[in-house]
Amino acid sequence: MAHWYDHAIIYQIYPKSFQDTNNDGIGDLNGIRQRIPYLQKLGINAIWLNPVFVSPQVDNGYDVSNYFAIDPAMGTMEDMNSLIEDCHKAGIHVIMDFVLNHTSNQHPWFQDAISDPNSIYRDYYIFAGKDGKRPNNWGSFFGGSVWEEDPAGTGEFYFHLFDKKMPDLNWKNPEVRHSMLEIAEYWLEKGIDGLRLDAFIHIAKADLRQNFPTEDGNGDPVVAEPFFANLPQVQTWLRPFCEQIKQDYPETLLLGEAASANVNLAVDYTERRNHLMDSVVTFRYFTEDNSQVDKHYSDVYQPKTLDMTAFKQNQTVWQQTLAGISYPTLYWSNHDMARLRTRVAKNDIQARSLAMLMYLQRGIPIIYYGEELGMQNLQFDNESQFSDQTVEAFIASAKKAGLSKEEAIKMASLVHKMPARGPMPWNHDKNYGFSEADSWIKGQKVDNCVVDDQIDDERSSFNFYKRMLELKQEDLFQDGDYYLLSTDKNSYVYQRDLGEKSAIVASSLSDKETAVVIPKGYEVEKLSAGDYQLNDGKLTLMPYSGVVLMKK
Ligand code: GLC
Ligand code: CA
């Protein structure tokens, strides 16, 4: 039986940056509500909100201190209820971000755990080590060790994969699993339609007594992915959680964030008989080309191009492997990476052509707010705007190699996730109509994308996305088969077939004119980005342009 989410077209909203209604510089739920007509016009049918629970905002909401209430900076429970209701009236489903691997250190469970070593909540978290000695050399994604001293002074440490103010939950403990299910069901009972399971692949950890093997055996902390990502217990522990949700709320979309999952794991996570997720988001789509990297300093925030051949390989493998299993997610950017137009697309034509290429494949599009306008990363001018210790380390390393601090900050602005979270530009009023107050996120806008300029302009990026999403809703692009046509590295061309219907989607990946031979009979243009010529099966694409052609 088909579910609504098989044909979902998701728009990702970073609530703090979408629309502020009470002029405190922070976007809020009422702001999203106010913009529902815009979302309808664009043609999406679901929104995914980054976390809106009560949070000290150490990691912009991914550090939750109360899962049963809305962060006051973003609104109230009543606002949330109204948002859900209004979205549903408009035919838009609501997906919430569900942070289940860790909590804030301000969460009452953690506060209790550190106030009394005999607290029942001690076992909600992962405490280990003794006499002030860390159990192992594992490193945190946010820099430094995963181990932080127990503030209670027991000589033990607690585990945190992300910020030290975000202690990991101990999923081994059945009480934790039960509590998290309770929270999920609380929100589903309110009528939300889906959960994005944040960082779920990390809930199981290997034996904590093992160091990750390195040459010197015990040096600086190392990010030991194989010891805390995709372990088999992730599935064992999440299965009852997912099964219960599907039993109680069968129309719930379970969308997992599985950053490092390869395609085989994606099969495991989404195959029906495994009773886990419906779809996962992998970061493995985007293989970078490291050949231009300057080896004299750290490469983390040096801009890299996408290795287009590897990208094509990855896409095809995901498309063909998940055919008949589940719908892959299709996306170009999110709050954890630089924006499409900054990271990959060389110009506006390419941004459109790449969007078309990605979203008309088989799967669920997830469009990051502002992408439909061609929005770029902000430009930061101060290292503190990144609030990230790994950026400080990058700047230090770049300075040693002779770069100025300004150059390093400029570089990091093109690569880092924070500048991708800029305010949505609605109009030409103060702060682009986002807020009368200065935005919570500082940084300079470098593009000239504004909703008001684009909305009625047929040639705008917004209207390109709108037409593309109309096309996406046709059954050919939802359920048709996919296969890649053999072309060289200068283009990406695939075919979609459903019964008698058939279309070719062709995109140039080159800055030169590119010719490809396509099967005869595809002549009806459905959508195009940039210019092309079609002559008796020979398709010539102008630099970076793309076209969708239907069989007559
Ligand atoms: C996920 C989120 C990211 C967050 C992390 C910790 O990867 O997408 O933004 O920092 O989890 O919750
Ligand atoms: Ca506000």
- Find the mean pLDDT for residues 20-48: 98
CA of 70 to the centre of ligand 2 (A): 13
Amino acid code (one letter) for 497: D
CA distance 506 to 522: 11
Ligand of minimum distance to the alpha carbon of 74: 2
Q: Is 368:378 a contact under the CB 8 Å cutoff?
A: no
- Beta strand pairing status for 157-159 and 147-149? antiparallel
Regarding the beta carbon of 200 and ligand 1, being less than 6 Å apart is answered: no
Pocket test for ligand 1, best of 12, 16, 62 (most atoms within 8 A of CB): 62
> Does residue 234 sit in helix, strand or coil?
helix
Amino acid code (one letter) for 377: N
CA of 141 to the centre of ligand 1 (A): 10
pLDDT of 218 above 80: no
The DSSP symbol for 163 reads -
Predicted pLDDT of residue 13: 98
Amino acid code (one letter) for 402: G
Q: What is the pLDDT of residues 113-125, one digit of tens each?
A: 999 999 999 999 9
Write out the two tokens for 123.
């076992």
Q: What is the pLDDT of residues 3-12, one digit of tens each?
A: 999 999 999 9
Displacement of CA 339 from its chain's centroid (Å)? 11
Nearest residue to 463 via CA among 471, 452, 476, 454: 454
Q: What is the pLDDT of residues 331-341, one digit of tens each?
A: 999 999 999 99
- Quick one: what percent of the chain has pLDDT higher than 70? 100
Phi first, then psi: give them for residue 13, nearest 5 degrees: -110, 125
Regarding the beta carbon of 59 and ligand 1, being less than 6 Å apart is answered: yes
- Quick one: what percent of the chain has pLDDT higher than 90? 97
Predicted pLDDT of residue 2: 87
Q: Given the structure tokens 């000695």, which residue do they identify? A: 133
| Residues in Cβ contact with 81 at an 8 Å cutoff, skipping those fewer than 6 apart | 190
- Find the mean pLDDT for residues 78-82: 98
CA distance 429 to 390: 35
Predicted pLDDT of residue 535: 93
Predicted pLDDT of residue 288: 95
To the nearest 10°, report the CA torsion of 272, 12, 101, 211. 100
Which residue would you say has higher pLDDT here, 529 or 214?
529
> Does residue 495 sit in helix, strand or coil?
strand
In sequence order, which ranges of 43-93 are alpha helices (DSSP H)? 77-89
Band of the pLDDT at 1, cuts 50, 70, 90?
A: low
pTM for the whole structure: 0.97
- Find the mean pLDDT for residues 230-237: 98
Protein residues within 5 Å, CB atom, of ion ligand 2: 20, 22, 24, 26, 28
CA distance 542 to 347: 13
Angle at 157 between CA 152 and CA 161, to 5 degrees: 125
Regarding the beta carbon of 157 and ligand 1, being less than 6 Å apart is answered: no
Q: What is the pLDDT of residues 457-500, one digit of tens each?
A: 999 999 999 999 999 999 999 999 999 999 999 999 999 999 99
Q: Is 461:488 a contact under the CB 8 Å cutoff?
A: no
By annotation, the residues acting in catalysis are 198, 257
Mean pLDDT of the chain: 97
Q: What is the pLDDT of residues 400-437, one digit of tens each?
A: 999 999 999 999 999 999 999 999 999 999 999 999 99
Residue nearest to atom 9 of ligand 1 (CA): 336
- Find the mean pLDDT for residues 490-518: 97
Nearest residue to 471 via CA among 546, 374, 377: 546
Q: In sequence order, what DSSP letters do the residues of 125-158 get, joined into one string?
A: B-EE-BTTB-S--BB-TTSSBSEEE-TT-SS-EE
Band of the pLDDT at 552, cuts 50, 70, 90?
A: confident
Predicted pLDDT of residue 219: 77
